[in-house]
Every structure is written in C-alpha cells, then in structure tokens.
Amino acid sequence: MNVQRSIDPEIDIQVLEIGDASEAMLRGYRAGFEKTFMRAPQNLVWTEFEDLVQPERVLVVATEDGAIAAGLYYDRVTDEDGPVANLQGLYSNARRPGCARRSIRSALAYEMHACGHAVGALATIRIRADDSVNPAVSKVLASLGFHPSARLVVPLSPNARHRHLIPTANRSDENGAVFEVLQMRLSPKNVQRLVFGG
C-alpha cells in the first residue's frame, strides 16, 4: 500500500491509490461531496459513487477533528505536456482555512514522488448557468498558479441514474443535457515550483 500523509495538529491529509482506500474512507469522501453538491449543485460536476473506483485513480482526503472535511481525486492522464494529474471532485467543508489548497499541493507532491519527475496538472471548475464560476475554487486554483486553458462540455448519460441531475445542467437539447466546465492548467515546471518552492 502506497500512502502519503501530511499531519499537523489541525488537519490530517492522506493521499493514496484509490484501490487501497477503505470502504469507510470512500464513503466518507462521498458523503462530504454529496453534502456540498446538494447545498450548491451549480458548483460541482456529479460523479456516481459506483464510478469512483477506477484504475490509475488517486484519492486525497483531509480529516479535521476526526472527520473527513475535504477531498478530491485525480486521474493519471497524458497530454502534450506529458504525464498530468487531472484533479476532480474537489470540495471542502473544513472550518479551518487553506484545506483545499493544501489538499491539492499534497496530491501533486504525491504524484511527483510516484513518477519520479515533474508532472503537469489539470483542474476543472463548473461553469454556472449565468456563465460565472465558483469564486472560492477559482481563487484557490489561481493562487496555486493554475490558469484557464479550455472550456469543455461534460454530457450526462440519458439514464435513470442521471435523471435527477438534469435540472442542474447548463443546458439541455435533443442531444441531451450537459455540464459546462472551465479547464485550468498548471505546467510541470510550475508544479515543481509549487511542491518544492523557488
């Protein structure tokens, strides 16, 4: 089992291959994500719990006062920058500031250690129906050096499992409902600076 932990008196952040995560940890992450989604569905792109465990996926959970308070996961992908950590499912219900930022930094440090070299990073932010984005998440990503790179659509599969999401979709037409997202990017060089400083 490959697990990295960052512990201080207030926040415990664990980064691990998702196949090594316990059922309790997966459900704890998922419960926090669902709570955040239900409070502000226009800010997040839904992922079914059954789809969470995938090969090459890594889970990050931050525990505050013994309970999971924040988290994200990422997929290992390759694009024109080479290996990239595609960050998804970020949320934070932590009372203490900086938890989301530290979770992202921990994820990228873990991936650099796992690869043995610098990697790039992608993150997606949900675009709201009024064309704005979640200011808290965009501020966190910008403070870490991420910059906007593309606007994408995420189709909702037309099955009963996704029917409840259609009211929160950006648009629906004869081709179905979609979420719109803003993709933000961090180059390998800037990931290295973020992780090691300088």
Q: Can you tell me whether residue 80 is helix, strand or coil?
A: coil
**Which pLDDT value is given to residue 1?**
47
Q: Which tens digits make up the pLDDT trace of 139-179?
A: 999 999 999 999 998 887 666 556 667 777 888 877 778 88
73, 60 in Cβ contact below 8 A? Answer: yes
* CB contact set of 125 (below 8 Å; sequence gap of 6+): 133, 134, 137, 138, 141, 181, 182, 184
Question: What pLDDT is attached to residue 96?
Answer: 86
What average pLDDT score do residues 112-134 get?
A: 91
Q: Which pLDDT score, from 0 to 100, does residue 6 have?
A: 59
Residue 31 DSSP one-character state: H
With a cut of 80, say whether residue 3 has pLDDT above it: no
Q: How many Cβ atoms from other residues are within 10 Å of residue 177's Cβ?
A: 20
Going by pLDDT thresholds of 50, 70 and 90, the confidence category of residue 7 is low
pLDDT, tens digit, 9 for 90 and up, residues 51-102 = 888 888 999 999 998 889 999 999 999 988 789 999 999 999 988 888 999 9
Helix runs in the chain, H state only: 23-39, 99-115, 135-143, 188-196
The residue type at 182: L
pTM of the shown model: 0.88
State pLDDT tens for residues 30-41.
999 999 988 888
User: Is the Cβ–Cβ distance between 108 and 121 less than 8 Å?
Assistant: yes
